[in-house]
Amino acid sequence: MTETITFSSVHGRARLFDVVGGLGAFHAARAFEAELSAHIQRAAAIRGATRAQQLRDEMREHYRLQQHGVLTMPEYEESKARILQQHA
C-alpha cells in the first residue's frame, strides 16, 4: 500500500506533482508539508502583492506549466477558469 501527497496551485488548484511513499512514510512529512505552506504564505505576505497581482502571477505560472507539458490543455483551461472566478 502507498500514500500520496499532491501539491497543487493555490487558486487554480491544478495538480503540480505527487509524492508517493509507502504506508506510514508520510507521517513525518506532514510537518514538512505544514512548514512549506507556512513559508509560501510568509513569502507572499512579504512580497506585498495585491490579490489581483497574485492571481495574475498564478495565471502566468499556469501558462508556463502548460507550455512545458506539466499541465495538459484541459488542466490548464480548468485552472484558468478557477483563477478567473477568484478574480471576479
pLDDT tens, residue by residue, 24-80: 777 777 788 888 889 888 887 887 778 888 888 888 999 999 999 989 999 999 989
pLDDT for 18 beyond 90: no
- Burial zone of 23 (CB within 10 Å; 0-12 exposed, 13-18 middle, 19+ buried): exposed
**Residue bearing the bigger pLDDT, 57 or 23:** 57
User: So what's the pLDDT on residue 27?
Assistant: 78
Its pTM stands at 0.64
Go through the chain and tell me how many residues it has.
88
Q: Which of 12, 19, 18 is nearest to 64 (CA)?
A: 12
User: So what's the pLDDT on residue 48?
Assistant: 73
